[in-house]
Amino acid sequence: MNPSTLTPSSSYTHRSLLLPSPLLNPPLTQRRRFRVSYPRCSSSSDADRTVPAPPPRAPKELKGIEVLVDKLSPPARLATSAVFLAGAVAAGYGLGSRFGGSRNAAIGGALALGAAGGAAAYALNAAAPQVAAVNLHNYVVGFDDPAKLKKEDIEAIANKYGVNKQDEAFKAEIADIYAEFVSRVLPPGGEELRGDEVDKIANFKNSLGIDDPDAAAMHLEIGRRFYRQRLEVGDRDANIEQRRAFQKLIYVSNLVFGEASSFLLPWKRVFKVTDSQVEVAIRDNAQRLYSSKLKSVGRDIDEGQLVTLREAQRLYRLSDELAENLFKEHARKLAEENISVALGTLKSRTRAVPGVNQAVEELDSLLALNNLLISFRNHSDVDRFARGVGPISLGGGVYDGDRNIEDLKLLYRAYVSDALSGGRMEDNKLAALNQLRNIFGFGKREAEAVSLDVTSKVYRKRLGQAVSSGELEVADSKAKFLQNLCDELHFDPQKASELHEEIYRQKLQQLVAGGELSEEDVAALLRLRVMLCIPQQTVEAVHSDICGSLFEKVVKEAIASGVDGYDADIKESVRKSAHGLRLTRETAMTIAGKAVRKIFINYIKRARAAGSRTESAKELKKMIAFNTLVVTELVEDIKGESADVSTEEPVKEVDITQTVDEDWDSLQTLKKIRPDKELIARMGKTGQTEITLKDDLPERDRTDLYKTYLLFCLTGEVKRVPFGAQITTKKDDSEYVLLNQLGGILGLTGKEIVEVHRGLAEQAFRQQAEVILADGQLTKARVEQLNNLQKQVGLPQEYAQKIIKSITTTKMAAAIETAVTQGRLNIKQIRELKESNVDLDSMISGSLREMLFKKTVDGIFSSGTGEFDGEEVYEKIPADLNINKEKARIVVSDLAKTKLSNSLIQAVALLRVRNHAGVVSSLNDLLACDKAVPSEQLSWEVSEELADLYSIYLKSDPTPEKLSRLQYLLGITDSTAAALQERGDRLLNTAEEEEFVF
């Protein structure tokens, strides 16, 4: 069955939930006759549908012999039966004697009429149960409420007619009465259970004295009636009602019969419903009953109501989880009512202060209910209370989700405002706010944001009053005064400090609007700072931000004026701004440095994007000129220094004397960046080195830029002339002075500059040396040539020797690796190279050395000598090749095992082609492998071939040790070996002759 049919909204095309199948009615022999008056529902909607009451039961009339039985008591009925029987026998005997004339005829007549009399007597007694049933029916008709029927009344009627309650007719009438009562008690499909149905049915069942199996059969029959009525009505709404009616029947029936319902009410077998569908029916109806019970619970809930709810939950067979969810949902709805009223009041257009108070009262009512439920949860008898008592949550309700979060924030704000209306925050209000935050489901940040907004306004108002009245200024301890104010409002002192900073910032913005601060302005700011206890570092940060932005504007205008526009007016503007805004020298330099570095970065970007080294150098020269003519003036104006600079002042250069070794004095390019006095006088003013790009560019980028200009100094400017020719313009040493200034702008240290010059010299020396040492051979003539090159580039001797060694080693390493790969280098040659002090570890990779070891061992196993020197293979060769000895043993073991089996196969193959010398060589290889890794006895399918191998090896005049070991490996017994030694090669010759004959 489709699980979707478990809900009333299921499609009509599916079989209705828990309705019986028409093909599953029990056999007629198992069905009992009864009459059930059940109202039929129209197909109109539930709102318009009216359910007529069942028609009254009509009394029954007695017919025929039943009238006589009704008038006779049981003794009289028995006496009458006896009289009928006796009279019939006597009459039969008389008639037989009279008309038959013999004794036999008389007896026959007596028997015939006696049988008829007996049948009449039986009919008289057999009608008694039916008469009793009719009287019981008429007796019940006389009651307005069948529940008033008592067990004693039924027993009196049964005793009156002398019948047993288990008699078929009487028992069927009792079942009819019970079924009709159950049908009357169960509400129609559109109505909900009232909760008293189970008690009514159980009490009436006990009053009737009907057995549980018979009563259960009536419940099943009522279920079949629901299905038949569904077929008669046939529309969707009626189908839903019948489904709900059947669900209620299952639920009530299971409660009536309790634990016995599992075998008395086989819903699954009779109606083809699943266990889960039965559970859904029980769960849904239990929820509806419990929900209706919760409707009586209000905000004044007490312990007695909670105990009653717990008992009702158990009676309704509702799980604790569902009961808890329903109770929480009910509490949430009560809370939502308060919230809706409060919101309606706040959002009203005619809202005034009393309206806000009314909203707060609603929230107080909500908090009171929440506190009451929390107290119940902490009660000692909480196990006796309804499940779900505890704090209220709006989760899952109409106010859950982001759509209504602003409405809840509005309420929370109103409550905070009311709590602070007296100018302070009481502890009980603070606790109430925490509970309200939990109820609304606010995060800590959301609640703090609302509270902070309201509290900040109140704090600012209280602070303004304290300043205006002079109360704060005359306070002995202003910090203590402000702390007390924060404590009264439960305001975070850190937030208060931020508010003080904001107030100071606003005041500073007002005073600095004219472009500078007067002495009166400074005094006012100092007074405000003292009153608000603002730290010095905060004041400096605020001044740096506000005054710094104004100063930055002036600096940018000065920089934008360019090399030719930095005149006296610009200088005065910078000086006035730097000192009038009361900025510290460090702050002013930081602001100016930020703007200047942006210009430097633009120059560097253009230098990188240039198409040639010459163009890049031109952009770098422009940056150096900008630094000398503009940035240097700007720094002097900020510091307030004189613009007149003596031409005798030494050049500000990068200090490399402390980091340069004496050996570096040979570097010609490094010497040139230290200009003499004559060059200094000719170059004029030098640039500043306080604003650099050290923190803006990585070290590699800065050294690359320096190297670019250094190469320009070395090569000079290249110019194109007609006909495609190029002319190199010779540069004088002044370019090296600019190179020194460039190093200062880039923020390079002396060590970094030295590394650039050394790297360039090494690069030049290496390029020429690789040409000279192309074949890796170092001759006397080439050594002289390299010495001249070393002096020419100015590279120290030790670095030149390292480069020469690197080149020769690399060339030799390439040749050695090629020889190893091609198999032209053996272990003997390796030892000769090591004796010549050649570092093979750096020339031959580890994998190639391992491959060389494997080839060497493979050669030993393939030499055909049968010899294996363990010390040579395991100790000397690994040491010569510098490989791990344990790893070498593993290689030897794996190779020996593989080579041993292959040697046997190869020996047999050579035997078959009569290559006796090859057989002996292969067997020697086998013995060498066995000597390296001792083997077990070998097996072969053709034992004669093993004997032939032994015979051939025997003829090669081997040593006794080898012959004995081979005999063991081939599995040759001593007797066979002796026979083979005696017979010589006869076995082999015989085998050859047989093969020839074949």
Calpha distance 720→346 (Å, rounded)? 85
**171-208 b/e with 16+ CB inside 10 Å = b?**
bbbbbbbbbbbbbbbbebbbeebeeebbebbbebbebb
**CA dihedral of residues 986, 989, 995, 998 (deg, nearest 10):** -80
The dihedral built from the CA positions of residue 437, 441, 447 and 450, taken in this order, carries a sign that is: negative
HEC letters along 464-495: HHHHHHCCCCCCCCHHHHHHHHHHHHCCCHHH
**CA dihedral of residues 58, 64, 66, 71 (deg, nearest 10):** 110
* Residue 279 pLDDT: 85
The dihedral built from the CA positions of residue 770, 774, 779 and 784, taken in this order, carries a sign that is: negative
> pTM for the whole thing?
0.52
Q: Which residues pair with 726 in a beta bridge?
A: 720
Strand ranges in 73-224 using DSSP code E only, listed in sequence order: none
- Tell me if 912 sits within 8 A of 946, measured CB to CB: no
Helix residue spans in 836-915 (DSSP H)? 840-843, 846-861, 870-871, 877-881, 885-912
Q: Please give the structure tokens belonging to residue 37.
A: 């008056």
Q: Please give the structure tokens belonging to residue 76.
A: 């009289």
**106-126 b/e with 16+ CB inside 10 Å = b?**
bbbbbeebbebbeeebeebbe
Calpha distance 2→149 (Å, rounded)? 43
Strand ranges in 608-703 using DSSP code E only, listed in sequence order: none
DSSP string for residues in 208-264: HT--HHHHHHHHHHHHHHHHHHHHHH-SHHHHHHHHHHHHHHHHHHHHHHGGGHHHH
Calpha distance 74→996 (Å, rounded)? 129
Q: What is the CA radius of gyration of the chain?
A: 59
| Low pLDDT (below 70) residues in the chain | 1-148, 150-153, 155-166, 169, 189, 230-235, 349-354, 641-685, 717-733, 775-780, 808-809, 811-813, 815-817, 819-820, 822-825, 833-834, 836-843, 984-998
Total residue length of the chain: 998
Q: Please give the structure tokens belonging to residue 213.
A: 């199996």
* Residue 412 Rama label (left phi>0; alpha psi -120 to 50; beta): alpha
* Residue 483 pLDDT: 92
Q: Tell me: the pLDDT tens digits for 682-703?
A: 445 677 888 888 888 998 888 8
How far does CA 605 lie from the centroid of its chain? 45
Q: Of all residues in the chain, what percent are helix, strand and coil, respectively (each to 5)?
A: 70, 0, 30
HEC letters along 322-353: HHHHHHHHHHHHHHHHHHHHHHHHHCCCCCCH
HEC letters along 716-732: CEEEECHHHCEEEECCC
Distances, alpha carbon 46 to alpha carbons 191, 354, 591, 902, 959, in Å? 9, 44, 80, 95, 116
If we measure between CA atoms, which residue out of 893, 904, 952, 957 comes closest to residue 927? Answer: 904
Count of CB atoms situated within 10 Å of the CB of 228 = 14
DSSP string for residues in 50-99: --PPPPPPPPP---THHHHHHHS-HHHHHHHHHHHHHHHHHHHHHHHHHH
Q: Please give the structure tokens belonging to residue 963.
A: 């012959």
- Tell me if 667 sits within 8 A of 761, measured CB to CB: yes
* Residue 10 pLDDT: 34
Calpha distance 440→338 (Å, rounded)? 13
Count of CB atoms situated within 10 Å of the CB of 540 = 14
